[in-house]
Structure 1
Amino acid sequence: MPRIQHLNSPAFLRLGLPFSEIVRVDDTLYLSGQMGTLPDSLQLAPGGIEAEAEQALRNIQQSLEHHGFSMRDVVKCTVMLADMADWPAFNAVYTRFFSKPYPARSAFGAKQLALGSRLEIEAMAVVGERT
């Protein structure tokens, strides 16, 4: 039987959202999608795609670190972009948060995202020894 934990930081719980920050199933972490919202709020970081991408990735990093994990544990990201023309700008920010070998990744264009966001990033991570 799998071991399932719902991991929620106090800051995340204060937002009152109807989902968990991270769900851990055995050694796999499923992170809820992150947008470029400023800490402790649902307000998007001002400055367009670069600012939102940086804040979304910071949100993922802070969520992982709060629960004792790191960006090195991330194995897969799914990126939703409101405009696929933002792909190069997103990649420039993404490579500041991850290093080679990069996590697996997929992306798709979305007609509309919550809060009017330019992007949302979902991540999966694995806890354990690296080979």
Structure 2
Amino acid sequence: MYNIINTKQSPQPIGPYVQGVQINNFVFISGQIPININSEIISNDISKQTEKSLQNIKNIIEKVGLKVNNIVKTTIFLINLKEIDKVNCVYKNFFIQNNARYPARTCVEVSKLPKNAKIEIEAIAIKNNL
């Protein structure tokens, strides 16, 4: 089973890709930058950008009936690793507020992100009885 995920609750892709793909029990979420449904960066604050990127992911997985607890892996791309403490604070609270376990995670610094975002987050979720 191959299912393209598309929700109006998160911004539409700004390039030739989809918000997410479900293949059998696996859900792959494309990298989400902190943009609203009008494709505008919501703030220059890393904490607000982190929160928005995570909310975009949540909206996408909820479209296929999943919850934050179904997320098993994230990858975070930051333009400045010196801001990791702020990112970690928002990230931790996001999973706690959603009664979810922390997933496996990778975090890397990159030189630039689309629309000059400070952060981009991608995720993998598994559809099962977690």
Normalized against structure 2, the TM-score is what? 0.89
Q: Are positions 1:75 and 2:72 aligned together?
A: yes
The amino acid that maps onto 2:118 is R
The residue type paired with residue 7 of structure 2 is S
What letter corresponds to residue 95 of structure 1 in structure 2? K
| Aligned residue identity for 1:93 | V
Q: Which amino acid aligns with 1:51?
A: K
Matched with 2:117 is 117
Query: 1:7 corresponds to which residue?
Result: 5
1:9, distance to aligned residue in structure 2 (A):
2.0
1:13-46 per-residue CA deviation (whole Å, 9 max, x = no partner) reads: 86664211111111000000001112x1211111
Q: Aligned partner of 1:102: which letter?
A: Y
In structure 1, stretches of 5+ residues that fail to align are none
1:64 positional shift: 1.3
Q: CA RMSD in A?
A: 1.8
> Which structure has the bigger radius of gyration?
1
Superposition deviation, residue 66 in structure 1: 2.4
What is the CA deviation profile of residues 63-115 of structure 1, one whole-angstrom value per residue up to 9, with x for unaligned ones? Answer: 11122111111000000000000110000000111146310001000001110
In the alignment, residue 53 of structure 2 is paired with which amino acid? A
2:87 to 90, 94, 100: 90
Q: Which residue of 1 aligns with 2:39?
A: 42
Q: 1:26 maps to which residue? A: 24
Q: Find 2:55's aligned residue among 54, 58, 69.
A: 58
Structure 2: state its 5+ residue gaps: none
Q: 2:93 aligns to what SS in structure 1?
A: helix
SS of residue paired to 1:98 = helix
What is the aligned residue count? 127
